[in-house]
Amino acid sequence: MNDKVFRIAIVGAGPAGYFTAKAFQSSQIVGKKFAIDMIERLPTPWGLVRSGVAPDHPKIKTVSKVFENIAKESGFRLFANVELGKDVSLQNLRENYDAVVLATGCSSGRKLDIPGESLPNCISAAEFVPWYNGHPDFTNVNVNLDSDTAVVIGAGNVAIDIARMLLLSPGALEPTDVAEHAFNTFKLSKIKKVILCGRRGPEHAAFTAPELRDLTKIRDIQIFIDSDQINLAILRVDQLGEVDRDLKNNLATMRLIAEQIKNSLERKLEIKFLATPIEIKGDNKVEEVVFAVNEIKNSRVVETDKIFSIRAGLVITAIGYDAVGYPGVKIENGRIVNIAGHVEHNIYVTGWAKRGPIGVIGTNKSDSVAVVDLIINNLKEPKNALSIESLLKSSHQIIDQFGWEKINASEVISGEISGKPRIKEVDWKRLISLGTNK
């Protein structure tokens, strides 16, 4: 019996895309196989593992080995430097592939929508993070580290990453794969104090205990948290009955940090709660952030009439992301409109684009398995239609797996000489030339 081979297009070569490919590979049975074409806008794959995970967290990046093993499986092909909506339409993919899975993530930074947000030196995590990670679209972000204080808005793990990156010493950053342009800026940084502000209480913080504990391991950063705020939060949570283990852990870690004996270290991180930013002030650039003080009444966070302000030369907002749309999909509440991963016809969605910007890299595994089960249930007969090569202009410069491996090898070799995991190539043209010169 001949195998039925279903052709699947996965758009987006980040963790959700790779775990989707893996779920298809693992679901192959005699008689039913999957040929996977992974389509990626950038000349490089790995999504947030390359352009999101902080450079000083190399362990998290080792998941890229899993991605490379998935890419080695027969039937898998990479088509990088191919943009959905520009080089190929969703309609074209839909008509020609048996299923199309959108794994395009959430890349647009949410806005505070307060006066002063557009002042120079107020930037979003959606620009700052890809800037220090060498994303080729963000090399020119104007990052000014000339003042001694920065404010980070948001109490999630991205805010923690950003606070840490702003305070790490050049010596700690040097052996990482931080982009060279960013390293040169960090080396000259005058920032000595970062104030991270959450609008709700410590019990509502979105960051997690392991990330907090990581901070405490950095020897030259002193962390300040108001112990009264933590003790009150613990009381409030205890009154509600059974406490979730992760929350208990998070609060216990915060209390430990709050009670730590303080040395007079040069670099300081302060974590503040119950502070909503209401205005960013400054003449031509950020100079001050004004906050409303909140309190918790009957388990609800309410604004008081008290305000306070922080003098700072840099504000980075880390308040979540929204999915970016393209012709053929609807975005609602920051994600692609879907029901359990089904968009319409043979179009599906997975990862952050499906569920919004929540969850760590591993969350995408179970998510992708569920979507792939749904797709396989809906597949009947293969279409045997055109594949991506025939849908693109003949002159289009595709970076395939072999091309990417050349880019990867070149970066790793350049890094070895300088004792780094890699030196990222950040220029579009050079990336394309490295990846296409056979």
Task: Please give the residue ranges that form the binding site for ligand NAP (CB under 6 A).
Answer: 112, 153-159, 161, 198-200, 204, 206, 211, 318-320, 357-360
3-class DSSP state of 345: coil
* Cα distance between residue 72 and residue 78, in whole Å: 10
* Cα distance between residue 23 and residue 337, in whole Å: 22
By beta-carbon proximity to ligand NAP, the closer residue of 212 and 431 is 212
By beta-carbon proximity to ligand NAP, the closer residue of 153 and 191 is 153
In one letter, which amino acid is 127?
Answer: E
Q: Tell me how far, at minimum, the Cβ of 179 lies from ligand NAP, in Å.
A: 18
* Cα distance between residue 235 and residue 252, in whole Å: 12
Q: Tell me how far, at minimum, the Cβ of 199 lies from ligand NAP, in Å.
A: 4
By beta-carbon proximity to ligand NAP, the closer residue of 157 and 364 is 157
In one letter, which amino acid is 190?
Answer: K
The tokens for 412 are 């790793």
By beta-carbon proximity to ligand NAP, the closer residue of 205 and 434 is 205
Sheet of 76-80, strand order = 76-80, 32-40, 4-11, 99-102, 347-349, 342-344
- Compute CA distances 240 → 50, 236, 244, 254, 379, whole Å: 41, 7, 11, 19, 47
* Cα distance between residue 8 and residue 5, in whole Å: 9
Rg (CA), the chain: 23
Q: Tell me how far, at minimum, the Cβ of 102 lies from ligand NAP, in Å.
A: 19
| Close Cβ partners of 410 (under 8 Å, ≥ 6 residues apart) | 425, 434
Q: Tell me how far, at minimum, the Cβ of 109 lies from ligand NAP, in Å.
A: 9
By beta-carbon proximity to ligand NAP, the closer residue of 359 and 382 is 359
By beta-carbon proximity to ligand NAP, the closer residue of 313 and 357 is 357
Bridge partners of residue 223, in order along the sequence? 269
Return the C-alpha torsion angle 103, 104, 105, 111, nearest 10: -160
Q: Tell me how far, at minimum, the Cβ of 340 lies from ligand NAP, in Å.
A: 20
By beta-carbon proximity to ligand NAP, the closer residue of 41 and 200 is 200
By beta-carbon proximity to ligand NAP, the closer residue of 192 and 236 is 236
Question: What is the distance of C-alpha 375 from the center of its chain?
Answer: 26
Per DSSP, helices labelled H in 204-244 are: 209-216, 227-239
Q: Is 51 left (phi over 0), alpha (psi -120 to 50) or beta?
A: alpha
By beta-carbon proximity to ligand NAP, the closer residue of 94 and 204 is 204
| Close Cβ partners of 184 (under 8 Å, ≥ 6 residues apart) | none
Contact indicator for 8, 97 with CB cutoff of 8 Å? yes
For ligand NAP, which residue has the nearest CB?
156
- Compute CA distances 126 → 90, 122, 316, 370, whole Å: 25, 12, 10, 28
Is the torsion defined by CA of 295, 301, 306, 311 positive or negative? positive
By beta-carbon proximity to ligand NAP, the closer residue of 130 and 328 is 130
